[in-house]
Amino acid sequence: MPLDPKRTVAELRELQELTGNADGAQRVAWTETWVEAQDWMASKLGGIAMEFDEARNQWWTVPGESERTLVIGGHLDSVPNGGWLDGALNVVAGSEVLRRIAEQGTPPVTVRLVSWADEEGARFGRSLFGSSAAAGSMADQDELRERKDADGTSLPDAISAHGVDLDRATDARSELENAAAYLELHIEQGPVLEGMDLPLGVVLGTFGVERHQITFRGQAAHAGSTPMDQRRDALAAAGLLALEIYDIAERGEGVCTMGSVVTKPGIVTSVVETAECLLDQRNLDADKLASMLEAAKSAASKFAEERNVEVEWERVWNIEPILFDNELIELADESIREVAGTSHRLPSGPLHDAAEVSRAGIPTVMVFVQSLRGLSHTKLEDTKEAHLELSVQALDRLADRTVEWIASR
Ligand SMILES: [Zn+2]
């Protein structure tokens, strides 16, 4: 049977019907609805060998002439009240490609489809569970042991109800031993492709992130009796920085967000004594990310001095940019141009399972399909059916090219 992209769209609608409600998709990892989605996917790939690994990643395998393996991946779990495409598109489109390859006989290299466990981290606040276990980058097992969901159920208890032993989850590493390339199709979850009127794009990598808490400290003083030129107003310095980051982002060709400012004492009759700001900076280029951080630090010091307040920085979290494989980026570009005429290269703001696989040293690339209105993690998330069909075709062409690429190396 040839590739049938319309079937992918129909199956995605079927999955939405089965595991969603009026508020959206409800396939939260480590719940019965998630298991229902996994069983449903297994029923669609009846003839192909399926297994779960130690982290409950779900694998289908079409053995090839060589053990070297092309892996296509996505995730069936969703956030609560999520969209019908985030994650599921990659798995269902991947199943269409896998079926097509299996029906053509033994491929030159092994081809596997994986549905990663708990990409979203919706229940326990820890994203990329399954892919980090398989990639060997799950370094926080002790911390995970302490995690609880909103009902007080611990993470180890919740996952053991699904047959996963936290201490053994990283044994999933063996699954990627023969992996020679990794492909992931995903909705963009942003407005770039729609703005350019393009259905598909190649992802260059995922942004590096620097996240800091910046605390400006001045002096609380009476709002009535303190002259304007004698104030040590922490919010005045914070406000200048909140505007300056627009220039910093533009110069660094990245993005900066001051997502939170908490002021104390936080009453209308006092000058602000402390302003605690959270700053998130992202860039695909490690050097530019470092310069953006330096620029923010020197601007903060300058504004603090101008306003006669003190400033302190504390790193909350950071991650390096993860760049995808140049040769696979070329192959993805060719595949997209073949089915859609034009391609575009763009970075990914969100992290994806592909970032974990890439960090493990496996050549990786992602393809994005346009998201309508750039919306995701809501039931309003949507993509035109014609674009979804093109994305399945592009993934299919890319899979063929990558099989050849692996075989020729
Ligand atoms: Zn996703």
395 CA distance to ligand 1 centroid (A)?
Answer: 16
277 CA distance to ligand 1 centroid (A)?
Answer: 28
The candidate with the shortest Cα–Cα distance to 34, out of 93, 116, 113, is 116
359 CA distance to ligand 1 centroid (A)?
Answer: 17
Backbone torsions φ then ψ of 145, nearest 5 degrees? -60, -30
Q: What is the pLDDT along the chain (409 residues), one digit of tens a residue?
A: 799 999 999 999 999 999 999 999 999 999 999 999 999 999 999 899 999 999 999 999 999 999 999 999 999 999 999 999 999 999 999 999 999 999 999 999 999 999 999 999 999 988 999 999 999 999 888 989 999 999 999 999 999 999 999 999 999 999 999 999 999 999 999 999 999 999 999 999 999 999 999 999 999 999 999 999 999 999 999 999 999 999 999 999 999 999 999 999 999 999 999 999 999 999 999 999 999 999 999 999 999 999 999 999 999 888 899 999 999 999 999 999 999 999 999 999 888 999 999 999 999 999 999 999 989 889 999 999 999 999 999 999 999 999 999 999 9
57 CA distance to ligand 1 centroid (A)?
Answer: 15
Bridging pattern class, strands 208-217 and 274-283: antiparallel
> pLDDT for 296-308, tens place per residue?
999 999 999 999 9
403 CA distance to ligand 1 centroid (A)?
Answer: 24
87 CA distance to ligand 1 centroid (A)?
Answer: 4
In this structure, the number of other CB atoms found within 10 A of the CB of residue 408 comes to 7
189 CA distance to ligand 1 centroid (A)?
Answer: 9
Backbone torsions φ then ψ of 84, nearest 5 degrees? -85, -10
CA distance 1 to 304: 67
376 CA distance to ligand 1 centroid (A)?
Answer: 9
Q: Which residues pair with 206 in a beta bridge?
A: 322, 348
The candidate with the shortest Cα–Cα distance to 194, out of 375, 385, 350, 365, is 375
77 CA distance to ligand 1 centroid (A)?
Answer: 8
The candidate with the shortest Cα–Cα distance to 176, out of 120, 205, 133, 128, is 133
Question: What pLDDT does 316 receive?
Answer: 86
H or E segment and range at residue 112: strand 109-115
Query: Is 85 strand, coil or helix?
Result: coil
Rg, Å, the chain Cα set: 24
106 CA distance to ligand 1 centroid (A)?
Answer: 30
355 CA distance to ligand 1 centroid (A)?
Answer: 12
In this structure, the number of other CB atoms found within 10 A of the CB of residue 314 comes to 9
134 CA distance to ligand 1 centroid (A)?
Answer: 17
CA dihedral 335, 338, 341, 346 (to 10 degrees): 0
Residue 1, Cβ density class (10 Å: 0-12 exposed, 13-18 middle, ≥19 buried): exposed
According to DSSP H, which parts of 171-285 are helical?
A: 192-196, 234-252
98 CA distance to ligand 1 centroid (A)?
Answer: 20
CB 111 within 8 A of CB 399: yes
As a whole number, the mean pLDDT across the chain is 96
CA 285 to chain centre: 18
According to DSSP H, which parts of 56-206 are helical?
A: 88-103, 129-135, 141-146, 155-160, 192-196
> pLDDT for 244-299, tens place per residue?
999 999 999 999 999 999 999 999 999 999 999 999 999 999 999 999 999 999 99
161 CA distance to ligand 1 centroid (A)?
Answer: 24
78 CA distance to ligand 1 centroid (A)?
Answer: 8
CB 366 within 8 A of CB 184: yes
367 CA distance to ligand 1 centroid (A)?
Answer: 12
184 CA distance to ligand 1 centroid (A)?
Answer: 10
The candidate with the shortest Cα–Cα distance to 156, out of 178, 124, 179, is 124
239 CA distance to ligand 1 centroid (A)?
Answer: 34
176 CA distance to ligand 1 centroid (A)?
Answer: 20
In this structure, the number of other CB atoms found within 10 A of the CB of residue 146 comes to 10
47 CA distance to ligand 1 centroid (A)?
Answer: 27
> pLDDT for 148-183, tens place per residue?
999 999 999 999 999 999 999 999 999 999 999 999
Residue 205, Cβ density class (10 Å: 0-12 exposed, 13-18 middle, ≥19 buried): buried
265 CA distance to ligand 1 centroid (A)?
Answer: 40
Query: Is 116 strand, coil or helix?
Result: coil
79 CA distance to ligand 1 centroid (A)?
Answer: 9
H or E segment and range at residue 191: none
182 CA distance to ligand 1 centroid (A)?
Answer: 15
350 CA distance to ligand 1 centroid (A)?
Answer: 9
CA distance 317 to 319: 7
CA distance 321 to 366: 15
352 CA distance to ligand 1 centroid (A)?
Answer: 6
Distance from first CA to last CA of the chain, Å, rounded?
29
Q: Is the bond preceding 156 in cis, omega lying within 30 degrees of 0?
A: no
